[in-house]
Amino acid sequence: MMPDIGFVNGQFMPLADAVVSVEDRGFQFGDGVYEVIRTYGGRPFHLNAHLARLERSAKAIDLPCPLSPAQWAERVAEGIRLAGYRECKVYLQLTRGPAPRDHIFPTAVHPTVVMTVRELHPLSDGLRSGVSAITLPDFRWGRCDIKSIGLLANVLARQRAKDAGAFEAIFIRDGEVTEGAVSNVMIVRRGVLATSPEGERILSGVTRSLVLELARKEGLAVQERPVSEAELRGADEVFLTGTTVEVLPVNRIDGIAIGSGRPGPVVTLLAARFRNLTV
């Protein structure tokens, strides 16, 4: 067993030995894209959807993807096998590679391909019974549909959440809820589930799609449309979706209880249905 695996440009190694150049454009400019995938039962969950999104992100920044989805899938499987953990968190990153620092793309691009495979620690039962969130103005850039490695705004937002004793920061843009710093946000009001539509303001979450599909299967009314800040605060239920948070109830926002202040029936049902997809 070789725990904590790194992969740089075709080579597997212990993560501690994995390094890239200080001239890498990922390091210099945040000029790159990424994905985070987790395993259930040792198998990567909806890997194809993540790889398709990685291709979309790369295309959106004019970065040629050096590996096909099938090649990625092979390397992800190898990384998981080498790590040997029960459950893994797999991180994939693609940057525009090393070049003398200049904003303009280098003429010869040699993308840097990085993967890390680490042990996944499941969320504690304490968190699963609901978390607190804060709201913040969405001070990110205008292309949140691209899974860019430039995460400074998300980092600052999540730190502010932590400093406030909360788990997640929910972004508000022009009076509308966009998403969380690491998750998509859904609300329930009188049995109707609403969440921001796909577009440049949010990341099209893999978990978001799965949960919307589950909700429709349960016969719930689902609305993909802008959700106002007032609707968020007045919702019966609010919850987060994401690879790392799964389906996570939000009990309080900015210190004020949402609904009963405990996980409601819709999020409880959807979390159970989601759990069934993972076994």
Residues 207-226: x where in contact with ligand PLP by CB under 6 A, - otherwise, as a string: xx------------------
Q: In 3D, which of 140, 142, 209 has the Cα closest to residue 169? A: 140
Q: Are 224 and 196 in contact (CB under 8 A)?
A: yes
Q: Which is nearer to ligand PLP, 71 or 141 (CB)?
A: 141
Stretch that binds ligand PLP, among 9-17, 162-170, 204-212, 257-265 (CB under 6 A): 204-212
Given the residues 59, 89, 147, 217, the one annotated as active site: 147
Stretch that binds ligand PLP, among 16-24, 113-121, 217-225, 240-248 (CB under 6 A): 240-248
Q: Which is nearer to ligand PLP, 50 or 96 (CB)?
A: 50
User: Does 203 engage in binding with ligand PLP (CB under 6 A)?
Assistant: yes
Report the sign of the C-alpha dihedral through residues 53, 223, 175, 240, in that order. Answer: negative
Q: Which is nearer to ligand PLP, 39 or 183 (CB)?
A: 183
Stretch that binds ligand PLP, among 24-32, 107-115, 236-244, 249-257 (CB under 6 A): 236-244
H helices within 129-198, ranges in order? 152-163
User: Does 32 engage in binding with ligand PLP (CB under 6 A)?
Assistant: no
Tokens representing 189 are 């009001």
What is the DSSP code string of 76-106?
HHHHHHHH--SSEEEEEEEE--B-SS-SSPP
User: Which distant-in-sequence residues (6+ apart) come within 8 Å of 43 by Cβ?
Assistant: none
* # residues contacting ligand PLP (CB under 6 A): 14
Residues 141-180: x where in contact with ligand PLP by CB under 6 A, - otherwise, as a string: --------------------------------------x-
Q: Which is nearer to ligand PLP, 24 or 179 (CB)?
A: 179
CA distances from 29 to 26, 82, 95, 96, 157 (A): 6, 31, 10, 10, 20
**Sole residue written with tokens 């040629």:** 64
User: Which distant-in-sequence residues (6+ apart) come within 8 Å of 194 by Cβ?
Assistant: 186, 187, 188, 222, 223, 224, 225, 227, 231
The single residue among 205, 249, 263, 264 that binds ligand PLP, judged by CB under 6 A, is: 205
Q: Is residue 147 flagged as an active site residue?
A: yes
Query: Which DSSP helix (H) or strand (E) runs through 112?
Result: strand 112-119
The single residue among 206, 214, 235, 271 that binds ligand PLP, judged by CB under 6 A, is: 206
Pair type for strands 32-40 and 88-95: antiparallel
What is the DSSP code string of 114-127?
EEEEEEPPPPPHHH
Residues 49 and 46: their CA atoms lie apart, in Å, by: 6
Q: What's the closest the beta carbon of residue 77 comes to ligand PLP, in angstroms? A: 20
Q: Which is nearer to ligand PLP, 99 or 202 (CB)?
A: 202
241-270 residues near ligand PLP, rule: CB under 6 A:
241-244
Q: Which is nearer to ligand PLP, 99 or 211 (CB)?
A: 211
Stretch that binds ligand PLP, among 91-99, 157-165, 238-246, 260-268 (CB under 6 A): 238-246
Q: In 3D, which of 31, 38, 4 has the Cα closest to residue 18? A: 4
Q: Which residues bind ligand PLP (CB under 6 A)?
A: 36, 179, 182-184, 203, 205-208, 241-244
Catalytic residues: 147
